[in-house]
Structure 1
Amino acid sequence: MTLILFIEQLLNGLQLGVMLFLMAAGLTLVFGVMGLINLAHGSLFMVGAFAAAGVAAATGSFLLALIAALAAAAAAGALIEVLIMRRLYHRDHLDQVLATFALILIFSEGTRWLFGSFPLYLNIPPFLSGPITLPGGIQYPLYRLTLIAVGLLVALGLAILISRTRLGIQIRAGENDREMIAALGVDIAKLYTIVFAIGAALAGLAGALVGAIQSVQVGMGEPVLILAFVVIVIGGIGSIKGALIGGILVGVTDSLGGVLLPALFRQFMEPSSAASMGSALASMLIYILMAGVLVVRPTGLFGARA
């Protein structure tokens, strides 16, 4: 492998990692504050992607498409929280899993009814299209670099929100003692709705951004959701910092593993066999990483110790 290919794959992994962070941050907020397992989070990723694709097709504006994705996903999340999730907070986790799995089916069939079964495509805006020359003469897509920058800015914004604002104080207090902050006069129902809407908006933003580099189709959120759960386990439940570090670790491991392992196996076997074996093992790497982290630290890298 050449140095240029290595750097390109490293950047691809970083881009994947920050997109997984946007998904995992919403999940970890919801679970940390509400103790709720939300399998329908991937559907909110899909809602954002379809909303962005629809608005971009109608207006031709990528900025309006992003705003529409944020608004649609946040509104869908708030509606779900008010109508359904409030009835599940004091129920068993199995009830939460079953209810949110039903939401996946409802969102999938509803999206198919509205947009059809064929994939949609969201074009990269002209001002972000084409490659950019990095130090060393490396040509890399400007849009992917923009995704990395957006993800890191969102991470910074979330860190400021959680650590420096009144809402952040309430969120952190809600993670530790919900009954106490309710006794102090905080409207728990309103706080839960806001947190759920923020998490949904982050998922919708990720869907809109990723929708410009892959097709927008029904069911696109479920594979990303699985990776987001892996990120949360690695980073630690309730930790925004853990979601960012975990996302980058998963993204870089997946990206580099898919290139390094087939190249390694080619030294010992035929190219066709090396490619298939290397790809199979590369797909397992992130789960091996997760297992290794859990052996050393069962609560995740930045999770609270039991």
Structure 2
Amino acid sequence: MSFNLFVIQALNGLQLGVLLFLMAAGLTLVFGIMNFVNLAHGSMYMMGAFIAAALYNYTGSFWLAAVLLAPIMMALGMVLDRIALSRLYDRDHLDQVLATFGLILFFNELARMLWGPSPVYMEVPEVLGGAVQFFGIRYPAYRLLVLAAGLLVALGCYLLVHHTRLGMLLRAGATHRDMVGALGVNIRLLNALLFGLGAVLAGVAGLLAGPVMSVQVGMGEPILILTMVVIVIGGIGSIRGAFYASLIVGVVDTLGRTLLPALLRGLMERSSADIAGPAIASMMIYILMAVVLALRPQGLFPVQRG
């Protein structure tokens, strides 16, 4: 493998990593702060992608679609919390898993009814349709936008959680819910805002992924599994952990799928290596998760309390 190809694949891995972080950031806030297992988070990613595609195709503007998507996803997350999720706060994790799994089936059928069973495609914005050249390497401009967006969201999440009044209330409500409520804070509204924020982040991930891959029913489940792996590796409830673990998982997965077939060709036939390489690469992140759980059950970057 040439050096240029290695760099391109590493950048592709970072791009996958930031998409995973957009998913993991919202899910780790809900899971870590509220101790709520929300399997329907992947459905918010799917709905965000479908809604963004519909807005993009209707308005003809990717940027206008992005602006309109945020309040729509915020409203969807808050309505979902109000109708279904708020009734599960005090239930055990099994009830939450079963209920939110039912929501996955609901949103898959809803998307199939609204947009049909066939994939929906989004075009890359014309202004970002070219490539950027640096150090002799040409890389798609749109993929660089995805990287930049992920970094900005990471910074925004850090500032929100650690340097704003809302973040202070969220962290306080996670450990001293009754006391925060006694101070006059509307805990139900706070929780609804948290679910809404998670839906916005998942929707933005769907928006950014739309032009790179086809938008289709069921697209939320595979990335939800990877997101869960990210949260376990990084540390439950840790935004910093979610960020670093997302990059690690993205790079390991992408480089593994590229490097392993080439390495295995020296040990077996080319056709067998091309089949075995990606299969082994898909196992690597789960092996990594198992190793992390064995050595650091709290994750690589756990939340610092106290």
The question of a shared fold, defined as TM-score above 0.5 by the shorter chain, is answered with yes
Aligned to 1:159: 158
Amino acid corresponding to residue 37 of structure 1 in structure 2: V
Q: Give the Å deviation of 1:305.
A: 8.0
CA–CA distance in 2 between the matches of 1:186 and 1:108? 35
How far does the alpha carbon of each residue in 1:6-32 deviate from its partner, in whole angstroms, 9 at most, with x for none? 101100000000000000110000112
CA–CA distance in 1 between the matches of 2:111 and 2:149? 27
**8 Å contact from structure 1 (residues 66, 205) kept in 2:** yes
Aligned to 2:54: 54
Aligned to 1:259: 258
Amino acid corresponding to residue 10 of structure 1 in structure 2: A
**8 Å contact from structure 1 (residues 51, 68) kept in 2:** no
Q: Give the Å deviation of 1:290.
A: 0.8
Normalising by structure 1, report the TM-score. Answer: 0.97
Give the root-mean-square deviation of aligned CA atoms. Answer: 1.3
* Partner SS, residue 149 of structure 1: helix
1:194 maps to 2:193: yes
1:2 maps to 2:2: yes
Aligned to 1:240: 239
Amino acid corresponding to residue 217 of structure 1 in structure 2: Q
Amino acid corresponding to residue 88 of structure 1 in structure 2: L
Amino acid corresponding to residue 216 of structure 1 in structure 2: V
How far does the alpha carbon of each residue in 1:208-244 deviate from its partner, in whole angstroms, 9 at most, with x for none? 1100111111111111111000000011111111110
**8 Å contact from structure 1 (residues 261, 279) kept in 2:** yes
1:113 maps to 2:113: yes
Q: Give the Å deviation of 1:161.
A: 0.8
The gaps in structure 1 that reach 5 residues or longer are none
Aligned to 2:88: 88
**8 Å contact from structure 1 (residues 47, 69) kept in 2:** no
Aligned to 1:224: 223
CA–CA distance in 1 between the matches of 2:276 and 2:114? 41
1:271 maps to 2:270: yes
* Partner SS, residue 133 of structure 1: strand
CA–CA distance in 2 between the matches of 1:54 and 1:71? 15
Normalising by structure 2, report the TM-score. Answer: 0.97
CA–CA distance in 2 between the matches of 1:20 and 1:233? 13
Q: Give the Å deviation of 1:67.
A: 2.2
Aligned to 1:74: 74
Amino acid corresponding to residue 47 of structure 1 in structure 2: M
CA–CA distance in 1 between the matches of 2:32 and 2:22? 16
Amino acid corresponding to residue 241 of structure 1 in structure 2: R
Aligned to 2:16: 16
Between 111-120 and 246-255, the greater mean CA deviation after superposition: 111-120
CA–CA distance in 2 between the matches of 1:228 and 1:188? 27
CA–CA distance in 1 between the matches of 2:115 and 2:151? 32
**8 Å contact from structure 1 (residues 45, 73) kept in 2:** no
* Partner SS, residue 139 of structure 2: strand
1:203 maps to 2:202: yes
**8 Å contact from structure 1 (residues 43, 222) kept in 2:** yes
Sequence identity percentage: 57
How far does the alpha carbon of each residue in 1:14-59 deviate from its partner, in whole angstroms, 9 at most, with x for none? 0000000000110000112221111100110011111111011111
* Partner SS, residue 49 of structure 1: helix
Aligned to 1:28: 28
CA–CA distance in 2 between the matches of 1:145 and 1:279? 25
**8 Å contact from structure 1 (residues 49, 208) kept in 2:** yes
**8 Å contact from structure 1 (residues 46, 219) kept in 2:** yes
**8 Å contact from structure 1 (residues 118, 217) kept in 2:** yes
CA–CA distance in 1 between the matches of 2:20 and 2:303? 21
Aligned to 1:214: 213
Aligned residues between the structures: 305
